Structure 1
Amino acid sequence: MELTRENIRAMIYIYYYDFYFRRGLTQQQCIDQLTSILVMKLHLKLSTVYHWFSEFNRGRSMLTDEVKAGRPKSVVVPQNIEAVRKLIMHDRHVTYPEIEATLGISMTSINSILHDQIAVKKNCSRWIPHNLTKEQKDVRVEWCNKMFKKYNRGDSKAVYNIYTGDESWIYAYDPETKQQSTVWVFQNEPNPTKVTRAKSTLKQMAACFFGINGHVATVPLENRKTVNSDWYTTICLPEVFQQIRKTNQRRRIILHHDNVSCHTSRETTLFLEGQNVELTGHPPYSPDLAPNDFYLFPNIKNKLRGQRFSTAEDAVHAFKQHVMEVPQAEWQKCFKNWFTRMQKCIDHQGEYFEKQ
């Protein structure tokens, strides 16, 4: 016959009463006797014998399980759900421990409220170039619509006459990104470490111009001077236009650049008028609509990361070499993506439309 839990407890009680009260054994002697009889002969767990000896020794006589209070009431109730919602609305950085301290509910309940009831998740803030005003968003949309109309959404042959350019710092040393530093590690090997390095103080500004058919010119700014209208109109743009006209003297030139002061100054405007160059314009605070910013500079600079150059001039030379190696298909893909971005800008009503 299989013994029930009550049968086992009764046996322990009988032996306990017999040894402890009738025979007058000490507590340790009682336990030794119980162990030799019940554990060794009946194969009961020693922990079970110890537990019930202690229970009987403290005065318990009931052999059945004690009535339990039951499962605690859930705290995932409308009042707590609304309280958590208000805490988040008040402080978007509020943490689990802060919610627990304020409301006095468990982490498990907080997790259930956050994810199952009000369906929130914690994301890092997205970096954007500028907090755009309504007017600035409208200007972005207006410019995109104008470009679509003028160049038939990028399908017009006139796109082949557009040349875009911008300036950026090229560093003699630019550290790798965290992603670029990843390496394969075997199971028993320690995790790799790397000393944090800052960008080199050796740097040189360079302007880079290209069209749908490829790179036109990369013009370094000598002696690390500030980019100004004089350099832009006497050194930079003349070299760019010279390279363009080498291939076709009659080619129409449509220039795209952003709205920094040296690009929009009176001196630059008069120079471009004298060169019979047409401008596309560019909406303010819109690096996401500038091919140099969303394509060329990020891609080429990533290839230079982690390399050390003895001079800034060497870094600019390496930059130019990488630019020259970009295949024509990639330049065409860049221009196609440019017009795709214009549509995204329109769809988002002028707001920034990608992660930065």
Structure 2
Amino acid sequence: MSYAKPVRCGENIEAVLMSVEATPKKSVRKRSAELGVSQSSVHRILRHDLKIKPYHISVHQGLTPENALQRRTMCAWFLRQVREEEDFLRSVWFSDEAHFYLSGTVNSRNYVHWASERPDEVIERNLHVTKATAWVALSAQGVIGPFWFCNEDGATETVTADRYMIDTRFWLALGRFCGHEARGQQWFMQDGTAPHTARGVLTWLTDHFEGRVISRFTEKTWASHSPDLKPLDFFLWGHLKDQMSGEQFQTLNDLKSLVERLIRAVTPEQCEDTIQHFLLRMRRCVQRDGGHIEQLL
């Protein structure tokens, strides 16, 4: 009787090790395809057999005592809302923008380096490379977007208050998700950048969401310096850019088409899991008195 060779055999473990030593920045997806080993098996070999981890090259801005207090207050409010209404988080839409680069350049948020120790590395990026800027909103119910910041010719435009994508397309899409009557009962979250907090934008949001807005300069404040708490930062952008790692595109339309396909492929289960992880991060932040939490996860 013959037996199939175990996937996590010495031969595959050695192949994964040699691959990592040669190209430590390669994504698991590409490594899996090159080696002919499933992504889940490559993950297990990396973590359990080789004892190495993916490090995201990132920069955390130092928190002042005021920043930490604001973060703790915000997290405590979210946790209190969940205790009072179990399904509260299903009604919260988290929104943000991200840049996707035609050159395939990876930004600092999801630049992954597999190693047994955290690498000491700084990534330089040409600020003038061609890019597309997308706006997306995510909740436990699903993903809305992307909406692109571009002119009639498709050229990328800078995000300004006038161009900010809180417009008819998002409002109509939200109605399709939860019903036109119920969409005013949803909550909307955004960070505090200048285009988001212009007077006209906040007036539009407050009117349409009947005051259910979590932002800077609103009754419920989104704490500054909190990318570690934003679902789009800790899940979606990294997930998308990992899938795009190493890709290069001839046109912005090719780039946008792939981003749109990848977003459509995000499952309801992934959205649910992301919001549950958001809840975990809220709890960890309170335990840390508002401090950064990435090292605890």
Q: Report what 1:31 is aligned to.
A: none
State the partner residue of 2:161: 229
1:354 shift after superposition: 1.3
C-alpha distance 237-162 of structure 1, shift in aligned 2 (>3 A): farther
What secondary structure sits across from 1:231 in the alignment?
A: coil
Report the Cα offset of residue 287 of structure 1. 0.3
- Give the number of the structure whose residues are more often helix, by fraction: 1
**Structure 2 residue aligned with 1:169:** 99
Q: Which blocks of at least 5 consecutive residues in structure 2 are unaligned?
A: 1-54, 115-122, 215-220
Whose strand proportion is higher, 1 or 2?
2
Q: Percent identity?
A: 18
Answering whether residue 150 of structure 2 is matched by residue 210 of structure 1, we say: no
Give the secondary structure class of the aligned counterpart of 1:219: strand
Normalising by structure 1, report the TM-score: 0.55
1:241 aligned partner, one-letter code: W
Counterpart residue identity of residue 191, structure 2: D
Please give the per-residue CA displacement for 1:62-118, whole angstroms capped at 9, x wherever unaligned: xxxxxxxxxxxxxxxxxxxxxxxxxxxxxxxxxxxxxxxxxxxxxxxxxxxxxxxxx
Structure 1 segments unaligned to the other structure (5+ residues): 1-123, 181-195
1:148 matches 2:79: yes
Shift of 1:159: 1.9
Output the amino acid matched with 2:129: T
Offset of residue 316 of structure 1: 2.1
Instruction: Tell me by how many angstroms 1:230 deviates.
Output: 1.1
1:323 maps to 2:253: no
Alignment length (residue pairs): 214
Q: SS at 1:144's partner residue? A: helix
| Whole-Å separation in 2 of the counterparts to 1:326 and 1:218 | 12
In 2, Cα distance between equivalents of 1:340 and 1:260: 25
CA distance in 1, matches of 2:170, 2:98: 16
Structure 2 matches for 1:1-356, cutoff 5 A? 128-152=59-83, 156-175=86-105, 179=113, 201-222=129-150, 223-232=155-164, 235-247=165-177, 248-251=179-182, 252-277=185-210, 278-280=212-214, 281-355=221-295
Q: Please, what TM-score do these two structures have when normalized by structure 2?
A: 0.66
Mapped contact 1:173–1:305 kept (Cα < 8 A): no
How far apart are residue 241 of structure 1 and its match? Answer: 1.4
| Aligned-partner SS, 1:165 | strand
Bigger-Rg structure (1/2): 1
Cα contact 1:208–1:217 (8 A) shared by 2: yes
Partner Cα distance (1:316, 1:133) in 2 = 38
Question: Bigger CA drift: 333-342 or 212-221?
Answer: 212-221
SS of aligned partner of 1:225? coil
2:224 & 2:105 partners in 1: Cα distance? 30
The answer to whether the 8 A contact 2:188-2:209 is kept is: no
1:118 aligned partner: none
SS of equivalent to 1:261? coil
Distance apart, 1:162 and its partner CA: 1.1
CA contact 1:287–1:293 (8 Å) conserved in 2: yes
**Offset of residue 198 of structure 1:** 6.6
4+ runs deviating over 4 angstroms: 175-180, 196-200
CA distance in 1, matches of 2:76, 2:236: 24
